[in-house]
């Protein structure tokens, strides 16, 4: 039996007892799909619709999804565009030093870790330095410079959030090992935190 029919039967079993008849399909790295894959998705959509099940696709992609959309348009298969690529939303990364400052301020005072503790991320990792007035927001400028110098192409002034958050975590872990009420920030710690995130390698690979 065709794999698609097995999948339809599986979806039906998942929805037993539910009145909505709604199936949400989430696909990551959708830019890796080929045009023929969208025809398979269309077949799946039709098979589910025949079972009174409405399929909604939510997909995540890298910026090169634009090239794939152009390729699909060239096939003149407008039904594929209408079903799966009608609304492409852009989620930018961190686009400037001001935005980075807002993010770091959230680590200092607008967050809670662990949940329910009443303690911010910064206070959790470096309680001694935090009690003495240290705030992560003070590294906004040097961190932005390090991040910016590690980016290229579409990520210039558009720092990917995954690498940004990893850089911040690397920095917090580094600071935690040196936590004290008299801790002074060494610029090398900021540089090392960004390097460990592999941001440069990520951008160079594009």
Task: Determine the Cα–Cα distance for residues 84 and 58; give it in Å rounded to an integer.
Answer: 8
pLDDT at 83: 82
CB atoms within 10 A of CB 22: 11
Q: Which helix (H) or strand (E) holds 23?
A: strand 22-27
Contact between residue 54 and residue 83 where contact means Cβ atoms under 8 Å apart: no
Cβ-based neighbours of 62, under 8 Å, separated by 6 or more? 29, 31
Domain extent listing, the chain: 3-84, 97-204
pLDDT at 66: 83
Q: Is 79 helix (H, G, I), strand (E, B) or coil?
A: helix
Task: Determine the Cα–Cα distance for residues 121 and 169; give it in Å rounded to an integer.
Answer: 10
Task: Determine the Cα–Cα distance for residues 70 and 61; give it in Å rounded to an integer.
Answer: 15
Task: Determine the Cα–Cα distance for residues 108 and 121; give it in Å rounded to an integer.
Answer: 6
Cβ-based neighbours of 151, under 8 Å, separated by 6 or more? 157, 158, 159, 199, 200, 203
pLDDT at 70: 81
pTM of the shown model: 0.71
Tens-level pLDDT at each residue, the chain (206 residues)? 478 888 999 999 989 888 778 999 999 999 888 878 888 999 999 999 999 999 999 999 887 788 888 877 777 777 888 788 888 888 889 999 999 999 999 999 999 999 999 999 999 999 999 999 999 999 999 999 999 999 998 889 999 999 999 999 999 999 999 999 999 999 999 999 999 999 999 998 87
Task: Determine the Cα–Cα distance for residues 64 and 102; give it in Å rounded to an integer.
Answer: 29
Q: Which residues pair with 27 in a beta bridge?
A: 59
pLDDT at 91: 85
């Amino acid at each position: 039996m065709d794999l698609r029919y097995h999948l339809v039967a599986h979806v039906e079993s998942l929805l037993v007892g539910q009145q909505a008849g709604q199936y949400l399909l989430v696909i990551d790295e959708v830019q890796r799909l080929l045009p023929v894959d969208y025809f398979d998705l269309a077949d799946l959509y039709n098979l589910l619709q025949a079972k009174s099940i409405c399929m909604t696709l939510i997909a995540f992609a890298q910026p090169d999804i634009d090239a794939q959309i152009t390729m699909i348009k060239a096939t003149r298969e407008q039904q594929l565009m209408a079903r799966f690529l009608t609304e492409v939303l852009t989620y930018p990364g961190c686009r400037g030093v001001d935005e980075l400052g807002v993010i770091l301020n959230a680590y200092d005072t607008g967050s809670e870790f662990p949940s329910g503790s009443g303690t911010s991320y910064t206070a959790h990792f470096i309680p001694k330095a935090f009690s003495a007035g240290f705030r992560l927001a003070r590294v906004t400028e040097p961190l932005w410079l390090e991040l910016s110098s590690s980016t290229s192409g579409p990520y210039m002034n558009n720092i990917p959030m995954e690498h940004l958050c990893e850089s911040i975590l690397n920095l917090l872990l580094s600071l935690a090992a040196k936590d004290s009420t008299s801790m002074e920030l060494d610029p090398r710690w900021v540089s090392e935190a960004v390097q460990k995130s592999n941001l440069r390698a990520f951008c160079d690979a594009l």
